[in-house]
Amino acid sequence: MSRVGIMGGTFNPPHNGHVHAARQAMAAMQFDRLLLIPDNVPPHKTMPHGSADGEQRLEMTRLMAREIPGAEACDMELRRGGRSYTADTLRALQRALPEAELFLIIGTDMLLTLDKWREPETLCALAGLVTVARDDDDHAALEQKAAWLKEKWNARVWLVDCPALPVSSTDVRADRALCRAMVPPAIYQYIEQQGLYF
Ligand code: ATP
Ligand code: MG
């Protein structure tokens, strides 16, 4: 059975925190493939004015994939259109890759709210949950949430033990110098070339 890691996000833009998270998850879990999936319309946030469009976010996700051995960008959520629910994506991947074992890579911030996502029971049934530190994490709260998800929906949770690289797309969109420092050079070049954000 091949092991497939899945990292979804808005990637508006991808930054070193995403790269770090993907590499840490890859090192801890030994995936055969890692799919980076930009969402079409994220259910949980409104896109800020002046955002990159889907095609630009996909292109930046492709550039991000080059930084992570085994990773590839996947346009399935953009092609599907509409709001992007991870449960739909996992169902589609299960159909497309029936032999694969699926793992969803998320920042610890996302684990804490996972029960508020659409169909959390489906997420827990179809994929292992691999969390990567995001910031000054409250380890007790994370362990407690993991235990609760396990109890309620039989979740399989891995809390990857690694240092955090606390940066967000929101931060880098607000500050060109931070963007240059915290975004892979090829992506920064693309941002400049396309006249994005600043
Ligand atoms: P925004 O500021 O627009 O919300 P973001 O930086 O949170 O953007 P997303 O594209 O929303 O990035 O995140 C996609 C996934 O990557 C989520 O699971 C999120 O938890 C994770 N992630 C984002 N930044 C980091 C980071 N610095 N360290 C670890 N995981 C991260
Ligand atoms: Mg976010």
**41 confidence band (pLDDT: 50, 70, 90):** confident
Cα of 49 from ligand 2 centre, angstroms: 16
Instruction: Give the model's pLDDT for residue 75.
Output: 98
Query: Ligand 1: residues whose CB is within 6 Å?
Result: 9-12, 17-18, 21, 106-107, 109-110, 132, 134, 165-170
Give the pLDDT confidence of 116-172 residue by residue, as tens digits. Answer: 999 999 999 999 999 999 988 899 999 999 999 999 999 999 999 999 999 999 999
Q: Ligand 1, from 10, 39, 56, 103: best to mutate by most atoms within 8 Å of Cβ? A: 10
Q: What is the pTM of this model?
A: 0.97
Atom of ligand 1 nearest to the CA of 171: 2
**42 confidence band (pLDDT: 50, 70, 90):** confident
Q: How high is the ipTM of this complex?
A: 0.98
Instruction: Give the model's pLDDT for residue 40.
Output: 95
pLDDT at 58 exceeding the cut of 90: yes
Instruction: Give the model's pLDDT for residue 195.
Output: 94
Position with higher pLDDT, 46 vs 125: 125
**5 confidence band (pLDDT: 50, 70, 90):** very high
Domain 2-107+161-194 has CATH 3.40.50.620: yes
- pLDDT mean across residues, the chain: 96
Nearest CA to ligand 1 atom 20: 107
Nearest CA to ligand 1 atom 8: 169
Nearest CA to ligand 1 atom 27: 17
Instruction: Give the model's pLDDT for residue 48.
Output: 78
Instruction: Give the model's pLDDT for residue 91.
Output: 98
Give the pLDDT confidence of 84-119 residue by residue, as tens digits. Answer: 999 999 999 999 999 999 999 999 999 999 999 999
How is 158-193 classified by DSSP, letter by letter? EEE--------HHHHHT-HHHHHHHS-HHHHHHHHH
Cα of 194 from ligand 1 centre, angstroms: 22
